[in-house]
Amino acid sequence: MTSAVNRLLSSEGGPTPRADARRNLERLISAARSALAEVGVEVTAQEIAQRAGVGKGTFYRRIPSREALLQVVLEEVLNEIIGTADNALADPDPWHGFAEFASVYVRLRAESCGVNDALGGAGMPGLDQLLAEIRTRIKLLVESAQSAGQLRRDIAWPDVAFVLAGISTDAGTIGLQPDSDQWSRNLRIVLAGLSTHDR
């Protein structure tokens, strides 16, 4: 959260805010992250302010705009995904690295409507560069596991990106309702289908 606070403070310019003003900003960022998770990118400034326990006036004194706040929060999460992918690429076992990345990536998509919206390209045009970096890393992870003979070579990396995006489910099907960890079971099935080995 510190990087998000610093980015918003630098966009304001002017003197360093008092400690209480900084705490309000931290509460707004935390509230925005939870509201994004539950509501998605359409969440209003009013709802974020209410979740943070501040008035709408305080919101606009601390934040340039609703869009700027959501952008900073989503950039922070997407950078976490990129960091996870970089760690996975450094793993000496390409399949293990890929599977670890896939788990974090799918969990974030399953747990946050806003992250799912952003990764789907909806609503936040300023995220294009980060999305391109995530695409590049997914491609590298897939190609590394394929080169090691651990991931099926008949599957293109964009197919993997679409499959990972489709794992999380928030709706019922044929009268069944998913458990909160349905995404995890779905992921295990998908990984078994992608792997060249029995795992």
Express each pLDDT in 51-73 by its tens digit: 888 888 888 877 888 888 888 88
Is 48's pLDDT higher than 60? yes
Residue 175: its pLDDT value, please?
79
**Residue 10 maps to a domain:** yes
Residue 179's CATH number: 1.10.357.10
Number of domains in the chain: 2
Domain boundary among 66, 88, 120: 66
Structural domain containing residue 93: 69-194
Residue 165: C-alpha distances to residues 58, 65, 68, 109, 155 (Å): 37, 29, 26, 8, 15
Please check whether residues 36 and 109 belong to one and the same domain.
no
pTM here?
0.81
Domain boundary among 49, 66, 83: 66
Is 38's pLDDT higher than 80? yes
**Residue 125 maps to a domain:** yes
**Residue 199 maps to a domain:** no
Domain boundary among 19, 35, 66: 66
Please check whether residues 133 and 40 belong to one and the same domain.
no
Residue 163: C-alpha distances to residues 107, 155, 159, 160, 166 (Å): 14, 11, 6, 5, 5
Write out the two tokens for 27.
Answer: 């509460």
Question: Is residue 148 within 8 Å of residue 95, measured between CB atoms?
Answer: yes
Please check whether residues 20 and 75 belong to one and the same domain.
no
Residue 144: C-alpha distances to residues 61, 80, 149, 199 (Å): 48, 21, 9, 18
Residue 102: its pLDDT value, please?
96
Residue 199: its pLDDT value, please?
45
Q: Which residues have C-beta within 8 Å of that of residue 103, sequence separation ≥ 6?
A: 184, 187
Average pLDDT score, the chain = 84
The Cα–Cα gap between 117 and 36 comes to: 9
Please check whether residues 83 and 142 belong to one and the same domain.
yes
Residue 41's CATH number: 1.10.10.60
Tens digits of residue pLDDT in 98-114:
999 999 999 888 888 88
